Amino acid sequence: MKSVFMHYHTREEISEMARNGAAAIVVPLAATEQHGPHLPVFTDSLICEHVATEAVRQASGTVPILVAPVLTIGCSQHHLAFGGTLSYTSSTYLQLLRDIGESLVTDGFGKIIFLNAHGGNDPIMTQTANDLAVRFPIWTASASYWSVARAALNETDAASLGMVPGHAGGFETAAVMALKPELVRSDLLPETHTMREWINSGPPGSFIGKHGELTGFDGFTDAPHRATAEAGRRYLNVIVDCVAAWLIATVQAMQKGS
């Protein structure tokens, strides 16, 4: 295989890898949306591309797997009021993901894995994976990187910087410092922030929200001033390792069940 990137291959090469469900395909989901006054609107896409690429590279040494192009626009309706945001409505995004899934089925893929890096995409991604598995004789899986890596991130004390992953807080700021430090407005890093205690206050899988503040006060969740590139590299390495292990385990489970 000359590359783990689906989009670097020819149609015949892709058909050969997809034939009889031989290779799994990872579809990375991200966003282009406001990230406070200090981070680029491409933050989720930068993190997503790095995690998906490096995790698939690791996993490809054990299982046959490819990665599709990153979807750099997601469901970000709750960010539009702040500007600097591109978004699909939830109904449009659901149909978009279904169409992509059906395209991959037509291409011959029998193992489709959605990997997400933006909170607004998560429930729609899961619904799409469910719908595709109901309609077609294929395997599907879906997860957000923070769910896969949550236990390991807790062990590295990632929450000492702020909410994990939060939105444009210490955690994401550290990640962008590690990936593209020149894009961080260090002169605009707030040292204080009005915390909304109800954000992520419920048990996993629950939801609580307030109009105009679904992404935190003033469009971000916590003060990012403690973020460092070194911390960002550490957290990204943990995430990549966890996602790679999850991909391997998921594909192997699919292979055994076929």
Q: Where are the domains of the chain?
A: 6-252
Question: Hey, which residues does 25 pair with through a beta bridge?
Answer: 66, 112
Taking the CB of residue 47, how many other CB atoms lie within 10 A of it? 25
Between 56 and 197, the more confident residue is 56
Mean pLDDT rounded to a whole number for the chain? 93
Mean pLDDT calculated for residue range 149-171: 95
pLDDT for 108-128, tens place per residue? 999 999 999 999 999 999 999
pLDDT average, residue stretch 20-37: 94
> Is there a contact between 189 and 169 (Cβ–Cβ < 8 Å)?
no
Query: Residue range 18-27: average pLDDT?
Result: 90
For residue range 177-234, what is the model confidence (pLDDT) as tens digits? 999 999 999 999 988 777 666 556 666 767 666 666 667 677 888 999 999 999 999 9
Q: How many CA atoms lie within 13 A of 203 on its CB side?
A: 0
Mean pLDDT of 139-156: 97
Closest to 86 (Cα-Cα) out of 129, 52, 114, 118: 118
Q: If pLDDT is split at 50, 70 and 90, which confidence band does 139 have?
A: very high
Residue 40: asked if its preceding bond is cis (omega within 30°), the reply is no
- What is the Cβ-side half-sphere exposure of residue 161, based on CA atoms within 13 angstroms? 28
Residue type, 3: S
Location of structure tokens 């894009």: 183
13: its two tokens: 């090469």
Residue 28: phi and psi, rounded to 5, are: -85, 130
- Percentage of the chain with pLDDT > 70? 91
d(Cα 237, Cα 240) in Å, to the nearest integer? 5
Structure confidence by residue, pLDDT tens digits, 66-123: 999 999 999 999 999 999 999 999 999 999 999 999 999 999 999 999 999 999 999 9
Q: How far apart are CA 208 and CA 201, in angstroms?
A: 8
Under CATH, which number does the domain 6-252 receive? 3.40.50.10310
Sheet holding 111-116, edge to edge: 65-67, 24-29, 111-116, 139-144
For the cut 60, the answer to whether the pLDDT of residue 255 exceeds it is yes
Identity of the residue numbered 258:
S
| pLDDT value of residue 21 | 72
* Whether the predicted pLDDT of 2 surpasses 80: no
Query: What DSSP assignment string belongs to 103-123?
Result: HHHHHT-SEEEEEE--GGGHH
